[in-house]
Chain A
């Protein structure tokens, strides 16, 4: 229904996004926005990718994974090995980061995804910690002191990655495969009874989510000059989890919005780290007490511009949501 019209809106939003990306590039190269803001922008971009990738696992497929920093770490280290040790180009590092994290996602996902709820959460948390400890013990990547990485992340790479991430996840969600994932979230037993291979779709969502977390890891590693195992502890996993929950479980635009807002807030509170964490935790608690469905609930941003019907769960029709 309205396939053509939907496709039109979709392409125009991509064009709009690309125009925005090019404009930002001019602002950055022309040094119109200063270094501090550019840095914040990079932070925001990486967090958007992380938020969207975890949204696919938790928000769409309903698999409560709280070890996402593990995939970030795998991507960061894999890409750093490619560029620093093997001296290959950055683009290969990006791809390798994603692929390595996706493989890690398969390795951890296949045995653990038959666990449910709290047990899955704890298993993934344990996995995240194991990844950190493994890197801590590998001398080749510098052990506890970490690895120095050249700054290679630039705005075009970052922006391209964000666009690709959001597009892929959106397209996946709004398809029969995405519906299969949502049916697993809604009622796994019924999904199974409707002929959905639930294990397959859980693992697929996990692997795609891990892939993009790995890409984010590659961008992260090549933006901060140094990566250390301590950067990827479970506090980092919680940060990503908070984007998804505060944004509204099941809403990609919510997760993206929360990633943007929270990154800005924490950047401005950077000089007061304790205060930042106190405010952060209070926001979390108060939010859960008074608006547990998050900022957006399961709605997408685009549903506010439509009258009559809303886009719940983001999958009403094959092509109605814009990219962001």
Chain B
């Protein structure tokens, strides 16, 4: 039963990773940039959610919504100000800029409100738990899982059934051809950042609710791990990010359960290196070779 219990915990954690990983994977798919600032958007989302709940006295869903909208705007701002001018620059320049933006958000937040952590209120949703086959599933876990599933279904719908989704797929396939076909590439890229950042915002609120403690540097490690999840599933592939996130969450929980909780943070990176060496295109990816 212990094993099943850990599996449930792993799935909750994994769905948070998956939500963040989606933003990484979408942005990478479209502009080939590892957006290091993405983990910090997640952190901002957690704080916006916290202030909506405590200061504005709102419930879970309105706070979630406010956080998602704010993060979407933040994501678009980051893209327009920092990344857009670098679209034709070298990959290294873009990556360094992303690192710069990440540091700026982290220390900007510390500068404005200090480095002290905050605690999410515990009474946000009724703290009951369901017993299922002897496994305790808390209402928070259910809520996180439910929210993630709904958002992922919504994302699939947007990407596959709407006009903007079609544009996103076209731009990620071939930016120049898409432009020639009359697609507004700039708006499409902004939309991608907006959607990805909104998902990170939602992940931030979910994280706060599940782990209670939030602080300005909280985005770094989950951000990196979510990136690992994206690589695991095959970077640029949306279902890959979901599966990669869930898988990583479960692996981590099982490692903790096996008594190696101090090694938990290392596991993600071991997984990363193994996948990069043996299947660099990820679980769902196809190998592409450089044209000679």
Contacts and interface: CB of A to CB of B under 8 A. Distances in A.
A274 B105 CA distance: 11
Nearest to B106: A277
B269 interface: yes
A285 B231 contact: no
Given A126-B273, A129-B269, A289-B97, A281 B104 contact: yes
A122 B269 CA distance: 9
B99 interface: yes
B180 interface: no
Interface in B91-123: 91-97, 99-104, 106-108, 110-111, 115
A122 B266 contact: no
Contact of B107 (A125, A130, A245, A281): A281
B258 interface: no
A284 B98 CA distance: 10
Given A121-B34, A129-B224, A133-B266, A112 B277 contact: yes
B97 A275 contact: no
How many chain B residues sit at the interface, stated as a range, is 35 or more
Contacts of B86: 288-289, 292
B103 A281 contact: yes
A274 B107 contact: yes
B270 A130 contact: yes
B161 to A, nearest CB: 30
A179 B106 CA distance: 41
A127 interface: yes
Contacts of A126: 228, 268-270, 272-273, 276
B91 A134 contact: no
B56 interface: no
B272 A122 contact: yes
Interface string B73-88: 0000000001001100
A contact residues, range: 35 or more
B99 A238 contact: yes
B117 to A, nearest CB: 16
Given A112-B276, A189-B292, A274-B107, A282 B266 contact: no
Interface of A: 64, 111-112, 115, 117-119, 121-123, 125-127, 129-130, 133-134, 136-137, 189, 234, 238, 241-242, 245, 249, 274-275, 277-278, 280-282, 284-285, 288-289, 292
Q: Give 6 nearest A-B pairs by CB, closest first.
A: A284-B100, A126-B269, A277-B107, A133-B266, A281-B103, A281-B104
24 contacts: A64-B92, A122-B34, A122-B272, A123-B277, A126-B268, A129-B224, A129-B269, A130-B270, A130-B273, A133-B265, A133-B269, A137-B262, A137-B263, A137-B266, A241-B96, A249-B92, A274-B115, A280-B103, A281-B102, A281-B107, A285-B97, A288-B86, A288-B89, A289-B85
